Amino acid sequence: MGSPSNNNPQRLRFGLFEADLASGELYKRGRLIRVQEKPFRILAMLLERPGKVISREEVQKKLWPEGTFVDFDEGLDTALKKLRQALGDSSQNPVFVETVPRRGYRFVAAVADETDVDVVAATAPSSSPLAEPTATERTEQPVTRGFGRGWQLLATGGLVAAVLVGITIRVARQPSASAIELKQRQLTVSSSQNPVRYGAISPDGKYLAYADLKGIHITLIETGDTQNIPQPEAFKGNRVDWQNFRWFLDGTRFLVNQNPPPERANGYDASVWEVSLLGGAPRKLRDTTGVEDVSPDGTMVAFTTNVHDLWLMGPHGEQVHKVYELGEKSSAIDFRWAPSGNRLAYIKDQEGTIESRDLHGGTPTILLSDVKDRLQDYVWLPDGRIVYALAEPRPNNDTCNLWERRVDKATGQPHGQPWRLTNWAGFCVDNITASADGKRLAFEEWAGHASVYIADTQSNGKRIIAPSRLTLSDSWNVPSAWTPDSKAVVFSSRFNGQWEILEQRLHEDTAKPIVTGLASVSDHTPFSPDGSWILYTTRASNAQPTQVMRVPAIGGPPQLVMTGGSDGVRCTKSPETLCAIAERSPAATKLTFIAFDPFKGRGRELMKFDTSPGSDYSWDLSPDATRIAVLKNLTGQIHILSLTGQPTLMINVGSSSTSSFLDWAADGKGLFVSRPTPRGFALLSVDLHGHIHALWEQEGSLGISALPSPDGRHLAVRGWSVNSNIWMMENF
């Protein structure tokens, strides 16, 4: 093809994307991606001259003409960040937009214009997606939307000939499927500072009810008009999580859970509330209960009080009775009604299956198996199909796609093989709901990000200067250690399903790899007490044991220290010489702390700590090696355990705390934790007397942690956020 700049095309294709330069619109696999004006104009400049360096000065002249009073550097950096975010690109490992130091930016991917579609198709090898699929491939063939003008494929023996003569065709989802184009539409436009948490489409397909950090909202889908539901008086000024929206058939009201359970195995702290479209605040229907689903005719509500049983009640909380008792050794979540209303499906946690059984008990029927740790959510449609979201296998398990399987509505018996509906990348899917006729499907698309920030401490750690961002990529970055000289941060990073450990010096933009290609890595990767080794835990899969590894601080091949350390590894710094791991007992009733040597491996047992099954715990070793702090996550209770025989100290940072991070201060006189706020999460400093100092709040954050430098002058802060919105799909 000729250069795009020579042909001056209006539609350019690269990777999975297509840019319409005339309309200023960006599409991914045929789906419109929202991009602001300036990021798109930068993209257009790069696409018009692929492979050529576009200087910052050139961008400034075109986007910020002379006389425009803005901070150009900050504006350009922000625009490029938003562009990379839309493309799922990374500044450190660019696929599309490369930063050329001290010069500008360059588009490094192949670019094609719309006139090249037929050439690419005609010359595709037999192994390409254009070739006729095998029998197995037909079973998993997605509904395909092509590049360019949306040309589509038909899985028949005449495929190649049809493409060569320029016939516009499509891949049939099933032999009997009609050639109707799959339609998708974004229903909410929240940013990462106020992510959408849960939502559900109404039975008539006209409304979307959803929640974000500001509360519950109801949107008329066709117009976008939105009604804000007032918070109950008791919750005003507090963080409230509304989850599991379940509409009644008449479409005038729905049920929703408030503050879901922190410890599902021990009972629910959730409560069920009723919300009416006629107005007013939510009304509490039942305490210590989690709503699961409303029956298709709206006469029964399925709910749970723990993961071992299922109950039914009437639409207003009447006629409560137990349906299933699964037993203490079996658990189930995510109950869904069959379209006939005579059965309920559920996910078996341990087995990784979807089962169903009728309301009178009987032998369960397996609808889907072998999806353990990959199944996100599912819905049972009126026509008998089950549509479910499934994470891709490693290393791509940050990506989820929609699948379907046909099931007999009366008996729950599955028919045929699972069928893949989508072929997306770069985000996951959850919270699937459907209209009563099954023609509209709503779901949440989300992608999580974690960044490393650096903050300077003041007033003995009771205050900090506003953090500045250290890592510039939008992947998952977790600060895990400081170098002994306090001049660089070691952090773990995940991109394209692979973990790596890197080191980045303060005030620098790039990081140095230490270990790459890991299947997993622990949040803490401490230096050995002498500073010569970095220690971490990893495991090849969930079924494999955890391994403690060491790698030279200057880089080199990793070496096995020992097997163990499922709950992480910690080390003190010279002159102290203690390293420790934590391990859960099989019944999850004990957390055992064990000393180890970076060369000799496992050593003596330090102590045991009683735990509750189903609960999570965070822990850290004090700098002077005399104490271990243990935080029972989601409660705010910190236990300071003594390794020298002193009494245990209890600190409570607030019953509303949902902190899941804990780190000792550099001087051992306090701890860093976090807890939710109405707008996000706050980082706290807590001394050993329980005095709390708020250090920083990140809007929209789902969690914060802070790791102090050895000299106590800096904090490496992790800010965790998510981009999350509700989409709708039709003609699937």
- Mean pLDDT of all residues belonging to the chain: 83
Domains of the chain (ranges, CATH numbers): 4-113 (1.10.10.10), 336-439 (no CATH), 447-724 (2.120.10.30)
DSSP assignment of 315-357, as one string? TTS-S-EEEEE--TT--EEEEEE-TTSSEEEEEETTTTEEEEE
Highest mean pLDDT among 82-86, 187-191, 543-547: 187-191
Residue 79 dihedral angles phi and psi, to the nearest 5°? -65, -40
141 CB burial (10 A radius; 0-12, 13-18, 19+): buried
pLDDT digits (tens, 9 = 90+) for 510-555: 999 999 999 889 999 999 999 999 999 998 877 789 999 999 998 8
Q: Where are the alpha helices (DSSP H) in 621-699?
A: none
Q: Is the peptide bond before 129 cis (omega within 30 degrees of 0)?
A: no
pLDDT digits (tens, 9 = 90+) for 654-706: 755 556 689 999 999 999 998 888 888 899 999 999 999 999 998 888 889 99
C-alpha atoms less than 13 angstroms from C-alpha of 395 in its C-beta half-sphere: 12
Cα 30 to Cα 215: distance, rounded to the nearest angstrom: 32
Residue 633: which pLDDT band, with cuts at 50, 70 and 90? confident
The pTM assigned to this predicted structure is: 0.70
Better-predicted residue by pLDDT, 175 or 354: 354
Residue 35: which pLDDT band, with cuts at 50, 70 and 90? confident
Residue of 540, 574, 586, 589 whose CA lies nearest to 560: 540
What pLDDT score was predicted for residue 76? Answer: 84
Q: Reply yes or no on whether the pLDDT at 350 is more than 90.
A: no
Of all residues in the chain, the percent with pLDDT exceeding 70 is: 85
In this prediction, residues 326-350 reach a mean pLDDT of 85
What pLDDT score was predicted for residue 72? Answer: 64
DSSP assignment of 575-620, as one string? T---EEEEEE-TTS-EEEEEEEETTTEEEEEEEEEE--TT--EEEE
Q: Reply yes or no on whether the pLDDT at 175 is more than 70.
A: no
CB of 266 closer than 8 Å to CB of 612: yes
Q: Reply yes or no on whether the pLDDT at 329 is more than 90.
A: no
Helix (H/G/I), strand (E/B), else coil: 228: strand
Of all residues in the chain, the percent with pLDDT exceeding 90 is: 49
The per-residue b/e assignment along 522-535, b for 16 or more CB within 10 angstroms, e otherwise, is bbbbbbbbeeebbb
Cα 119 to Cα 723: distance, rounded to the nearest angstrom: 37
Cα 428 to Cα 399: distance, rounded to the nearest angstrom: 5
Mapping DSSP onto H, E and C, the string for 486-547 reads CCEEEEEEEECCEEEEEEEECCCCCCEEEEEEECCCCCCCCECCCCCEEEEEECCCCCCCCE
In this prediction, residues 96-116 reach a mean pLDDT of 82
Cα Rg for the chain, rounded, in angstroms?
27
